Amino acid sequence: MNVLFVDADKELLESYGGWLCWSTLFHCTPANAYDNASALTMLRLRRFDLLITEVSGGGVNGLALLEEVCRDKLAACVVFLAKRGSFSVAQKAMRCRLFDYLTKPVSEKEMQGVILRAAEHCGFATDEPSGNALARNAVIHGLLHGKPESVDLFRMEIQKEKDGAGFYANVISAIYQNLPWLANFLEMSSLRPAREDRELCVRNIEALFCLLRLLLPEPDDCTIYKINNYVLNRIDGKIDSRSIAEAFFFNYYYLSSMYKAKTGVNLQKYITTARMMRACFLIRNTRRRIYDIGGELGFQGGEHFSGRFRKVFGFSPSALRARDAAEGPILPLAAAARGAPPPLSLSSRRKA
């Protein structure tokens, strides 16, 4: 099913595109246009089954777009995103064969419902969400958006599932699919229990939640989310607050102030913490010398790296490697910055 969103608000469109339902339910990635001209160009170059457009704003005129779409049969269904108080416009559009309308702000659940109806109207088969799928999607959405209740929901749902291991595996797989950089901090294979141990699955989800909260502060803020992903996708390269400001066309001082105000964390400190989490991964999963790992991550010398590492986690890099070998793998998370890391039974493989 091909879907086109039209809205002058680029950040809003990006947030729509990040919803989990596209991959888990509709198996497609929506296209975006920011005004009538670009929308009509895309509609004439490619067949779209569903057009979802705002009523008005910027270069978007929903009624004019609807008229051209209906006249030239450019899309099977058209849905309006109407601001409160613009119901009369939606009523007028209904007479022009508008399929449906939603009132802004739109939740993922509301959007999912109208797209399911449009898919049925167009004759598309979708993976209608069962109770199992809805619970799984709620857990995944909560983990990605930093909601503590997602861990409690997972704990409750996995006890009800006949195939607890399958439910857990689907959650983990979806998280890694949505966050490709995560593999640089925690191997997906390390989260696979050797046996069906539901309590172990819950502990792993708790650990993963802590890691995501540490690496993705304020995940619902679009700008902060973009900055965090920029850092995490380039964690092995040279990156600092000034290079990020240049990449996002921000004044350096404005960026630092804005990031601290929204997250409560200094941006340079966030970058350092992310590097330390990457260092933990390399110490635990490779045989590289600690001195070399520090150098790869931009630290000047082994003593400098070990000192910063100890300041963040409360123990040295060599102590982490020794404890990992003696007691089995551990996962240093947000709690590690305040003391000893929580012991977790995560399987792991050392690489040459």
| Residue 27, domain extent | 3-122
Closest to 278 measured CA to CA, from 209, 343, 182: 182
pTM of the predicted structure, to 2 decimals: 0.61
> Sign of the C-alpha dihedral, residues 219, 225, 227, 232?
positive
Contacts of 15 (CB under 8 A, 6+ apart): 222
CA–CA distance from 190 to each of 159, 215, 246 (Å)? Answer: 22, 18, 36
Tell me the CATH number at 19: 3.40.50.2300
Q: Answer for the pair 323, 330: CB distance below 8 angstroms, yes or no.
A: yes
Please give the pLDDT value at position 260.
94
Please give the pLDDT value at position 84.
61
Please say which residue of 82, 99, 122 terminates a domain.
Answer: 122
Kindly state whether residues 78 and 157 are assigned to the same domain.
no
Task: Pick out the chain residues at pLDDT < 70.
Answer: 20-21, 23-27, 84-96, 122-132, 193-195, 324-352
Please say which residue of 188, 215, 242 terminates a domain.
Answer: 215
Kindly state whether residues 9 and 77 are assigned to the same domain.
yes
Please give the pLDDT value at position 104.
80
pLDDT in tens, 208-233: 998 899 899 888 787 898 899 899 99
User: Is residue 305, in this structure, part of any structural domain at all?
Assistant: no
pLDDT in tens, 242-252: 999 998 899 99
Please say which residue of 122, 145, 179 terminates a domain.
Answer: 122
The total domain count for the chain is 2
Amino acid at site 45: L
Please give the pLDDT value at position 330.
44
Kindly state whether residues 115 and 139 are assigned to the same domain.
no
Amino acid at site 48: F
Please give the pLDDT value at position 153.
92
Q: What is the DSSP letter of 237?
A: S
